[in-house]
Structure 1
Amino acid sequence: MGVYNVHERLLTAEKDAVGALVDALAGDGDPLWPHGSWPRMEFDGPLTTGAVGGHGPIRYTVIAHVPAVWVRFAFSGPRGFDGFHEFTVLPVDDEHALLRHTLAMETHGTARLTWPALWRPLHDALLEDSLDRAELACTGSVARPARWSAYVRLVRRLAR
């Protein structure tokens, strides 16, 4: 099954400021990843090509990184995830940039069932929380904070 999943937020900030959020992923004081509510993103070293890590049971390797512009991660787990996810900073004008997260993969085996039933709702909630953190970092507030669905709350409760 082919999966193409995009989350994005138009931010009132210069592209370099948004790019700095991406470059701080998994670092001390990471302002982008919602580590208070979700498993922390961690790597075996700095965020650079070849770094290995992930968050919770989701494992990946950094396969490309253009500082302040783009970082791409290739999945290595869970089994059946064959593809990548990435953060991209797209300048809009001098005062705005678009922060986009793209996930593109083929699912195989049991992942054909677990992606839509389990992983996708959690992924979507996590990414909207991440974009809220980006907006908060850039503007000091969040205009429309993301809300977890009842299903996401149930799955998280059952996972504990």
Structure 2
Amino acid sequence: MLIRNVHERLLLADPDAVGALVDALGGESDVLWPSDRWPALRLDRPLRAGAVGGHGRIRYAVVAHQPARSAVFRFRSPAGVVGVHRFEVERRERVGTVLRHTLEAEVHGTTRLVWSLALRNLHDALIEDLLDRAELAVEGSVHSPARWSPYVRLLRRAGRARPARPTGPAPGATMRP
């Protein structure tokens, strides 16, 4: 199954200001990634080709970076995902700058089902949160904040870490030889 998923936001800002947000992804000064609501994006070095990292269970490598203009990440995991996701900054004459996120991937095996049932909805919510953060950073406010659907809220509750089940004897139990 081929996925092409595109999100974009028109921002009333200079392309260099928007591009600086993209350039800081995964670093200490990253204000774009919504790590207050989602697993943090971390890279092993500043954003540039060759950097590796990811967020949560998703892993990727930076395969291209044009400062203040674009960044392309190739998926390394999960298994069953072959493709890229990219951020692009595009000047619009007299109206501002578009920040675009595009995911293009072929999904195989059980990942097809997981994408359809859960990951697509979670991905869409994360990227809309990211675009809200971009708007807030360059404009000072968010005109129409993204809202999580009831389904996304359900998926988030279902995915929260649960306490590990004990694997040894119960507290106070005696062991027999």
1:57-87 CA-partner distances (Å, limit 9, x unpaired) = 1110000000000000000111111100000
Question: Is the 1:14–1:95 Cα contact (8 Å) retained in structure 2?
Answer: no
Q: Give the distance between the partners of 1:29 and 1:132, measured in 2 at CA.
A: 17
Aligned partner of 1:77 in structure 2 is 77
Aligned partner of 2:92 in structure 1 is 92
Q: Give the distance between the partners of 1:43 and 1:6, measured in 2 at CA.
A: 23
1:82-132 CA-partner distances (Å, limit 9, x unpaired) = 100000000002561000000000000111101111110000000000000
Q: How many residues align?
A: 160
Q: Give the distance between the partners of 1:136 and 1:43, measured in 2 at CA.
A: 23
Taking structure 1 as reference, are residues 94 and 15 closer, same or farther at Cα in structure 2, changes over 3 Å only?
farther
Q: Give the distance between the partners of 2:29 and 2:42, measured in 1 at CA.
A: 12
Question: Is the 1:14–1:94 Cα contact (8 Å) retained in structure 2?
Answer: no
**Structure 1 residue matching 2:30: 3-state secondary structure:** coil
- How far apart are 1:29 and its partner, in Å? 3.0
Q: Which TM-score applies when normalising by structure 1?
A: 0.98
Query: Which segment is superposed worse, 51-60 or 89-98?
Result: 89-98
Would you tell me which structure has more strand in proportion to its own residues? 1
The one-letter amino acid of 1:126's match is: L
Structure 2: state its 5+ residue gaps.
Answer: 161-177
The one-letter amino acid of 1:2's match is: L
Q: Give the distance between the partners of 1:2 and 1:159, measured in 2 at CA.
A: 25
Identity %: 59
Aligned partner of 1:116 in structure 2 is 116
4+ long deviations beyond 4 Å: none
- How far apart are 1:45 and its partner, in Å? 1.2
Between structure 1 and structure 2, the one with the greater Rg is 2
Aligned partner of 1:138 in structure 2 is 138
1:113-154 CA-partner distances (Å, limit 9, x unpaired) = 011111100000000000000000011000000000111111
Q: Which TM-score applies when normalising by structure 2?
A: 0.88
Aligned partner of 2:68 in structure 1 is 68
More contact order relative to length (CA 8 Å, sep ≥ 6): 1
Query: Which segment is superposed worse, 120-129 or 90-99?
Result: 90-99
**Structure 2 residue matching 1:123: 3-state secondary structure:** helix
